[in-house]
Amino acid sequence: MAEINVTAKDFEEKVLNSELPVLVDFWAPWCGPCRMVAPILEQIAGEMEGKITVAKVNVDEEQSLAQNYRVMSIPTMIIFKGGKAEETAIGARPKADIVKMVEKYL
């Protein structure tokens, strides 16, 4: 399964009410480090299908969500579990670091 795009309209349904932990990537198309992380997140979404959901929030289009979660710099990745933001990683990270962060919430 590929990543899902999330908007303010469906954030509660797809992220906060998800049965699975959700890794939310706050990104923008013009952001170089975001583009570096994108293929890594796509791999993780495929490899961990059924264990986690990887969601993407375009901060240019969803400024209210970025403000709600105090996203000051992108990429920012936040793990949600049980409707709560559990952990945040700011900036491009290697795949191993992202996987290690996600595995804590499986």
> Which tokens belong to 10?
């469906």
Q: Which helix (H) or strand (E) holds 54?
A: strand 53-58
Q: Which residue among the candidates 6, 15, 34, 78 is catalytic per the annotation?
A: 34
Phi, psi of 56 (to 5 degrees): -120, 135
> Which tokens belong to 65?
């969500």
- Answer yes or no: 5 catalytic: no
- Answer yes or no: 34 catalytic: yes
The residue type found at 94 is P
Q: Which residue among the candidates 23, 31, 57, 66 is catalytic per the annotation?
A: 31
Annotated catalytic sites, by residue?
31, 34
